[in-house]
Amino acid sequence: MNFPILSAIIFIPLIGAFFIFVTKGEQKNVERNSKYVAIFTSLSNFFLSILLWYFFDNSTSDFQFIEEKKWMSGFINFQLGIDGISMLFILLTTFIAPLCIFSGIHSIKFKIKEFLIAILVMETLMLGVFCSLNLVIFYLFFEGGLIPMFLIIGIWGGPKRVYSAFKFFLFTLLGSVLMLVAIISIYWITGTTDVIRLLDGRIPQEFQYLLWLAFFSSFAVKLPMWPVHTWLPDAHVEAPTAGSVILAAILLKMAGYGFIRFSLGLFPVASDYFTPLIFVLSIIAIIYTSLVALMQDDMKKLIAYSSVAHMGFVTIGIFSLTKQGLEGSIIQMMSHGLISAALFLCVGVVYDRYHSRMISSYGGLVNIMPKYALVFMIFTLAALGLPGTSGFVGEFLVLVGALQKNILVAVLASFGVILVAAYMLWLYRRVIFGKITNPEIKEITDLNKTEIYIFASLVFLILFFGVYPKPLFNTIDISISNLINNYQADLSFHLVKINN
């Protein structure tokens, strides 16, 4: 197929953003038109990515839909291409973006035009991260996301938005600059930043450790891993609902994707060497942040800490380097993308109505918002990994993978599962059940039509992939097997070299 479908998917939101940027006229008309343009571009992008999935060939582990254009005087080319792993992330991104736009249209009260531009630009940059097959292009998209996200938090955020936006920006920037040094070093060591060629050839072992650490510093901040996770609760709490959804559902996944694609693919020896470090940090993240989540009285903060814990599972799965673990971590990322988006939207629903995120402001919501109570329950149960929801599939596989590598890690991670159940159910009980203690919330209305559609689509996907996750496995299966084979081959190649 000659049609550059990946470029189209990446740049359609940007074109939409440009159209919104140039619309002029009466404020009311401009806002209405911008909304239509944003909805139209993001939805058409979603359908285009479904089309991409349809054309996607499950039977090969090679990169597909490859595009290459001369870009920087020939030595760095604009290369795009996807395999099974990136395919799922693209779908997740194009699915979440319209949800953000729908929710933003309802809850954002001022500068709606700028907000839609920021979200669409953000979508372009996130898709670019998952499609790029050149380290420099990857870095460009990865870092470019800072600008719109900084503005989304800073302009439309809550009372402490300036502090949170600065913290988010500086933390992630500091983490990423080391990755830039590593990328340039790779260019001078191997003569290329082309990912396909780097995956084939081997980066010399003596360089791998430092390069791995440089990439790790960037991904660990973005993921986020303990102890550099502190920007996340602040950013989540202060960001508007749509911003939190993007952050939790996609931005964090960029780091997980980076671990799989780059840390494992390019530096197998170093990955093997540093696996204990990852396990220790992930276990601390799971148990410590779950305990912190138990103590939160702010709903968004609680969900933010639970994100850190869930991402701890993801890193354990990735570095267990077993097929179950890796597939589990990808499924976990997908389902966390859906569930955390759903939970943040749930908080957004009551926040839009009563303007409080405190758990203590609510209680007894089931009496006035029965529909809301139902969807919130489904998402709560999905978050704690109830069988039948997509959360279970991921968590279960991760634990199976971890068990093969290290029993202690698996046992400690299972404690996390219990803690998640504890704080999620407690949250649900305090917000939904009980008597209405706060008379002011009696005025709150139940879900409106748009919200019902948004939640229905999320509930459907979470339950569907909980019962029938096969389409997801089909897509990633061969790519994951190939990744593990390459990894083992590289590892034994280096071991042979050492022994001789």
Partner 1 sequence: MQAIPYIYILPELFLSVAIMSLLMLGVFIKKSFKLVSLLTILSLAFAIILVLNQPSEVVKIFNESYIIDKLSIFMKVLTLLFCLFVLLSSKDYIKNNNIDKIEYPIIILASILGMILMISSYDLIVFYLGLELQSLCLYILASFRREDVRSSEAGLKYFVLSALASGLLLYGCSLIYGFTGSTNFETIATNLNEANKGAVFGIVFIIVGLAFKISAVPFHMWSPDVYEGSPTSVTNFFALIPKIAAISVFIRFMYVPFINVINQWQAIIIFLSIASMIVGAVAAIGQQNIKRLMAYSSIGHMGYALAGLATGTNEGIQSVIIYLTIYLIMNLGAFGCIFMMKRENIFYENINDLSGLSKNHPILAFSFLIILFSLAGIPPLAGFFAKFYIFMAVIEVKMYALAIIGLVTTVVSAFYYIRIIKVIYFDNPKKPFDKNYDFGLKISLILSSILILVYFIYPSILTDLVSSIEVY
Which residues make up the interface to partner 1 (CB under 8 A)?
70-74, 114, 136, 139-141, 143-144, 146-147, 150-151, 154-155, 161-162, 165-166, 169-170, 173-174, 177-178, 180-181, 184-185, 187-188
* CB of 112 or CB of 318, closer to partner 1: 112
State the nearest-atom distance from the C-beta of 136 to partner 1, in Å: 8
- Are 139 and 179 in contact by the 8 Å Cβ rule? The answer is yes
Task: Please compute, for residue 370, the number of CA atoms within 13 A of its CA located in the half-sphere on the CB side.
Answer: 1
CA-to-CA dists, residue 307 to 63, 142, 226, 247, 317, angstroms = 30, 20, 12, 10, 15
CA distance 156 to 243: 9
State the nearest-atom distance from the C-beta of 143 to partner 1, in Å: 5
State the nearest-atom distance from the C-beta of 173 to partner 1, in Å: 5
Q: Look at residues 432, 427, 429 and name the one whose alpha carbon lies nearest to residue 290.
A: 427
CA distance 359 to 363: 8
* CB of 83 or CB of 238, closer to partner 1: 238
* CB of 145 or CB of 364, closer to partner 1: 145
Which H/E stretch holds residue 223? Answer: none
Q: Look at residues 10, 11, 132, 135 and name the one whose alpha carbon lies nearest to residue 76.
A: 135
State the nearest-atom distance from the C-beta of 359 to partner 1, in Å: 28
262 C-beta neighbours (distance < 10 Å), count: 26
Quickly list DSSP for 442-466.
GG-----HHHHHHHHHHHHHHHHHH
CA distance 140 to 135: 9
Q: Which phi and psi (to 5°) does residue 406 adopt? A: -160, 115
State the nearest-atom distance from the C-beta of 262 to partner 1, in Å: 17
CA distance 271 to 321: 10
State the nearest-atom distance from the C-beta of 175 to partner 1, in Å: 9
Q: Look at residues 13, 14, 90 and name the one whose alpha carbon lies nearest to residue 55.
A: 90
Which H/E stretch holds residue 480? Answer: helix 470-499
State the nearest-atom distance from the C-beta of 174 to partner 1, in Å: 5
State the nearest-atom distance from the C-beta of 21 to partner 1, in Å: 9
Q: Look at residues 250, 248, 268, 181 and name the one whose alpha carbon lies nearest to residue 217.
A: 181
* CB of 25 or CB of 74, closer to partner 1: 74
* CB of 14 or CB of 454, closer to partner 1: 14
Q: Look at residues 367, 362, 371, 252 and name the one whose alpha carbon lies nearest to residue 299.
A: 362
CA distance 427 to 350: 14
State the nearest-atom distance from the C-beta of 113 to partner 1, in Å: 9
CA distance 136 to 272: 25
* CB of 158 or CB of 434, closer to partner 1: 158
* CB of 154 or CB of 466, closer to partner 1: 154
State the nearest-atom distance from the C-beta of 219 to partner 1, in Å: 17
* CB of 139 or CB of 257, closer to partner 1: 139
- Token match 């748009």: residue? 450
CA distance 417 to 383: 10
* CB of 137 or CB of 199, closer to partner 1: 137
State the nearest-atom distance from the C-beta of 135 to partner 1, in Å: 12
State the nearest-atom distance from the C-beta of 112 to partner 1, in Å: 13
* CB of 124 or CB of 322, closer to partner 1: 124
Q: Look at residues 240, 255, 257 and name the one whose alpha carbon lies nearest to residue 119.
A: 240
* CB of 71 or CB of 396, closer to partner 1: 71
Sign of CA dihedral 186, 189, 193, 199: negative
* CB of 11 or CB of 426, closer to partner 1: 11
Burial 202-234 (b: 16+ CB within 10 A, else e): bbebebbeebbbbbbbbbbbbbbbbebbebbbb
